[in-house]
Structure 1
């Protein structure tokens, strides 16, 4: 089921059949350099399970990002609930397979998810948080209108949180 459609992408719920494609980003050491470690095949399946649980609990999660032209899953993007300094907040996150990076897909998907968060889910604000050195993700957040809110430490690493607020 398609959740969101953009000019070049379909965004739909993840399925276990997406595990091989998603592994191309989540198990790639270069793509996952801002995470504690790349995901094992089992952790990729657990990631999909976690998102399926999120769909049931929150009516959103990370979704599959699919090219309209080929039907190929090129990563994930969506809204998850994340604990930041003891507060549960909606966070826009994404992972795009590196061969599709730097083509605007992350920005296109993240912008569509931000609009969905405001218009459909009725959130008043959405967040993005990254490790302090994850400049590519910070740039995507800036491109979709997020502003730096603050820095904080999570799991012993410094992070930056960016926020977008619904226009009223």
Structure 2
């Protein structure tokens, strides 16, 4: 089921048939350099199940990012509920297969997700957080209008939190 569409992409719910394609990014050591470790195939399956559960629980999660022209799966992007210093907040995250890096797809998908968070889900704010070293993800957050908010520690690493406010609320 398509959730949203942009100029070049559409986002749809993940399903178990996406396991192998999603492992192209989640099991890749370079793509996952800011995570404790790349995912095993079993962990990718758990990731998809977690998102399917999020769709039911919150009406959102990470969705498959698909190039419209080629109908090609290139990663995931969406909104998940994350705990940042004992507060559970909507967070925009993404993982794009490295063959598709630096083409604006993460920014395009993240912008669509932020608009969805504000216009459809009516969240007053959305967040993004990454390890301090993850400059590419921080740049995407800046490009969609997020501002630096604070730094906190998770899993023994400093994380930069960025935030955007819903101007319509």
Quote the Cα distance in structure 1 between the aligned partners of 2:89 and 2:69: 34
Normalization by structure 2: what TM-score?
0.99
TM-score norm. by structure 1 comes to 0.99
2:25 is aligned to 25
Deviations 1:90-145 (A, max 9, x none): 00000000000100000000000000000000000000000000000000000000
Distance 1:55 1:105 in 2: 22
Once residues 74 and 19 of structure 2 are traced to their aligned partners in structure 1, the CA distance between those partners, rounded to angstroms, is 11
Match runs of 1:88-127 below 5 Å: 88-127=88-127
- Structure 1, unaligned stretches of length 5 or more? none
1:7-18 pair list within 5 angstroms: 7-18=7-18
In the TM superposition, what is the alpha-carbon distance from 1:72 to its structure 2 partner?
1.0
Distance 2:133 2:115 in 1: 26
Look up the SS of the partner of 1:103 in the other structure.
Answer: coil
SS in 2 for 1:162: strand
Kindly report the root-mean-square deviation, in angstroms, between the aligned alpha carbons of the 2 structures: 0.5
Gaps of 5+ in 2: none
**3-state SS of 1:37 partner:** coil
How many residue pairs end up in the alignment? Answer: 168
* Deviation of the 1:158 alpha carbon: 0.4
Q: Hey, what's the Cα distance between the residues in 2 that align with 1:69 and 1:45?
A: 27
Structure 1 residue ranges (4+ consecutive) displaced by more than 6 angstroms after TM superposition: none
